[in-house]
């Protein structure tokens, strides 16, 4: 679709500059999109491993917890876990992937995970918490990777929209407008030439 | 059924503790009616077939009807899900404790088993106070002190209306809390005080059966604690604090086992009545990371001991044994109910079933 501009030489120059800029932008964005895509595919591989590992570990945790729960009164079990000692302090930093800010989660784990006495609790609870303790860091890594993946996917989507807008809308529109202005200028030039020739003829008295 | 249960000790299911039973028991004619009543109730223990029937039930209402048929919590109005059914166990436990209190001529002994819940409630209230949470829903109102009075006492820090053991326990816990701020010590110290209370009441009472039961209970609790601390590679200081005084095996003999190889632990207990419990339990733990075999073996030891009270015709022993054995039955029923609520396959539920009378 042609842009609503006046068909002047100045406008033509301006549009040509814009077209040049759009083409360079398009190339850059296309490169960015490709790189983000590559990062995304790498991350998907890592994420798949992390998720499989975390899910297996968590299943194990739940299995042990269920075993502890089977043999312990609900209120006694809840009492044992009601006042935890372990403190998970999560530090959130940032890193950049192609100018996209993604989080880096650094957990600082303090205190012992075993917060209950041994006389009225099942050993299965120890097994459960031991497994849970070992899965905590993996779960933080997993959440970091999943958040990064989501941000990457959003960024790819945004970049693709920009690339498409440039490729299918702005650049063709600019090209079309430039072509129109060029044709219009040619036409004006021809008109002027014809007018001059006519004037020349009148002056000669023909 | 009662006859076959009496014979269990000889079938190899439960290990037989050596020694003549007549040495354990002393007749007490005051318990003639009580023992008769308990004998009739013993016939209503759930059998393997009953537990199998419970496992086979499809709907929670069907399980509820079955439990009611077996004398569990008739008239409990709001049973809709598998989880609701656990309330039947609470009611049944309350009924058993009330029955034993009524039948017992030695209230200090029968109250002791209700005081367990006072200690539990105290742990809940102290944790609620120190952590600033509302843990009211964790209180179990079957102790000797009503939960309202205990809550008020802990809130106001005024224990004049509570028994001496409550204020003693609070004092011990408070002193350590101020120094360490460690919530684990609330449980450890309260449990220690509870066993001290048991020793304080049972030892002077002079009943051999109860004395030996307490020895077993403390020893097995200490063995499990030792194995757990060792397996988790926790601090020796924690083991020192967690071991309970007053068992037949001195704590000082157990401390060094924290640092020795597992084989040494098994060989240490090989000459004791806990040889099989420790050997089987630690072996399974090291192979499969599961404590269930150790806990199952510990339960087998206690159940086989408690079942010996069935030969006693007059005395408090059958009452105490009934009360404690009922707890094992509740454990088995709970396993099925929780298993059902979590959609466990029947075979897995059977594997996880604890020992019961």
Name the helix (H) or strand (E) containing A101: strand A100-110
pLDDT given for residue A1 in this prediction: 78
pLDDT given for residue A98 in this prediction: 86
Chain A CB contacts of B191 below 8 Å = 117-120
Chain A CA closest to residue B188: A117
What domains, with CATH codes, occur in chain B?
31-102+316-352 (1.10.132), 106-206 (1.20.1690), 207-313 (1.20.1690)
pLDDT given for residue B32 in this prediction: 84
Residue written as token pair 């590992």: A53
pLDDT given for residue B221 in this prediction: 94
**What's the CA gap between A128 and A125, in Å, rounded?**
5
The pLDDT tens digits of the residues spanning A100-124 come to 999 999 998 888 899 999 998 999 9
The pLDDT tens digits of the residues spanning A136-164 come to 889 999 999 999 999 999 999 999 999 99
Residue A16 near residue A178 (C-beta atoms within 8 A): yes
pLDDT at A49 over 60: yes
pTM of the full predicted structure? 0.82
pLDDT at A71 over 90: no
Residue written as token pair 């595919």: A41
Minimal C-alpha gap between A81 and chain B (Å): 10
Size of interface A-B (CB pairs under 8 A): 111
pLDDT given for residue B2 in this prediction: 36
For A9-199, the fitting CATH number among 1.10.287.3240, 2.60.40.10, 1.20.1250.20, 3.40.225.10 is 1.10.287.3240
pLDDT given for residue B3 in this prediction: 35
A118/B140 touch (CB, cutoff 8 Å), yes or no: no
Q: CB-CB: which of A73, A114, A127 is closest to B184?
A: A114
Residue B97 near residue B142 (C-beta atoms within 8 A): yes
A206 pLDDT band, cuts 50/70/90, is: low
pLDDT given for residue B8 in this prediction: 35
- Mean pLDDT for the stretch of residues B269-292: 90
Q: CB-CB: which of B128, B191, B352 is closest to A119?
A: B191
Q: What are the structural domain ranges in chain A?
A: 9-199
B25 pLDDT band, cuts 50/70/90, is: low
Q: For residue A8, report the phi and psi dihedrals to the nearest 5 degrees.
A: -120, 165
Q: CB-CB: which of A66, A124, A126 is closest to B232?
A: A126
Residue B127 near residue B119 (C-beta atoms within 8 A): no
DSSP state for residue B31 in the 8-state scheme: G
- Mean pLDDT for the stretch of residues A125-133: 91
The pLDDT tens digits of the residues spanning B128-169 come to 999 999 999 999 988 899 999 999 999 999 998 889 999 999
**Quick check: A71 contacting B, CB < 8 Å?**
yes
**What's the CA gap between B22 and B145, in Å, rounded?**
36
B184/A117 touch (CB, cutoff 8 Å), yes or no: yes
């Amino acid at each position: 679709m042609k842009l609503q501009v006046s068909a002047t030489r100045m406008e033509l120059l301006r549009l040509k500059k814009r077209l040049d800029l759009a083409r360079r932008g398009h190339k850059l964005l296309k490169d960015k999109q490709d790189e983000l895509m590559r990062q995304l595919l790498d991350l998907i591989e890592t994420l798949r491993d992390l998720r499989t590992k975390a899910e297996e570990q968590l299943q194990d945790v739940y299995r042990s917890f269920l075993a502890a729960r089977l043999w312990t009164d609900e209120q006694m079990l809840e009492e044992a876990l009601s006042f935890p000692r372990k403190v998970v302090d999560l530090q959130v930093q940032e890193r950049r992937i192609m100018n996209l800010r993604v989080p880096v989660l650094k957990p600082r784990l303090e205190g012992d995970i075993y917060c209950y006495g041994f006389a009225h609790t099942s050993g299965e609870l120890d097994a459960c918490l031991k497994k849970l303790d070992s899965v905590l860091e993996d779960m933080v890594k997993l959440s970091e990777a999943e958040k990064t993946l989501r941000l990457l996917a959003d960024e790819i989507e945004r970049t693709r929209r920009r690339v498409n807008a440039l490729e299918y809308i702005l650049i063709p529109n600019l090209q079309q407008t430039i072509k129109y202005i060029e044709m219009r200028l040619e036409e004006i030039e021809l008109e002027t030439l014809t007018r001059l020739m006519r004037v020349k003829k009148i002056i000669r008295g023909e | 059924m009662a006859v076959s249960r009496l014979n269990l000790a000889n079938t190899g299911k439960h290990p037989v503790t050596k020694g003549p039973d007549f040495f354990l028991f002393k007749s007490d004619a005051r318990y003639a009616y009580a023992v008769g009543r308990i004998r009739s109730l013993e016939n209503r223990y759930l059998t393997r077939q009953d537990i199998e029937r419970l496992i086979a039930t499809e709907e929670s209402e069907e399980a509820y009807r079955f439990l009611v048929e077996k004398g569990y919590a008739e008239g409990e109005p709001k049973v809709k899900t598998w989880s609701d059914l656990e309330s039947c166990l609470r009611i049944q436990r309350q009924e058993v404790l009330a029955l034993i209190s009524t039948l017992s001529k030695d209230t200090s002994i029968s109250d002791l088993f209700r005081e367990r819940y006072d200690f539990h409630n105290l742990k809940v209230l102290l944790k609620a106070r120190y952590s600033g949470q509302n843990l009211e829903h964790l209180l179990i109102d079957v102790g000797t002190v009503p939960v309202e009075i205990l809550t008020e006492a802990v809130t106001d820090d005024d224990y004049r209306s509570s028994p001496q053991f409550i204020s003693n326990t609070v004092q011990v816990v408070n002193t350590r809390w101020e120094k360490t701020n460690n919530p684990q010590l609330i449980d450890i110290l309260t449990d220690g005080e509870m066993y001290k209370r048991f020793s304080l009441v049972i030892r002077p009472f002079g009943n051999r059966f109860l004395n030996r039961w307490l020895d077993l209970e403390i020893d097995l609790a200490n063995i499990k604690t030792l194995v757990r601390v060792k397996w988790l590679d926790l601090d020796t200081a924690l083991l020192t604090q967690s071991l309970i005084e007053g068992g037949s095996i001195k704590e000082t003999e157990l401390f060094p086992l924290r640092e020795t190889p597992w084989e040494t632990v098994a060989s240490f207990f090989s000459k004791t009545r806990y040889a099989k419990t420790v050997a089987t339990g630690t072996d399974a733990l090291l192979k499969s990371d599961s404590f269930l075999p150790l806990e199952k073996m510990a339960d087998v030891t206690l159940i086989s001991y408690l079942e010996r009270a069935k030969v006693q015709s007059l005395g408090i022993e059958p009452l105490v044994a009934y009360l404690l054995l009922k707890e094992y039955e509740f454990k088995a029923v709970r396993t099925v109910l929780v298993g059902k609520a979590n959609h466990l396959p029947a075979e897995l539920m059977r594997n996880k079933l604890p020992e019961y009378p």
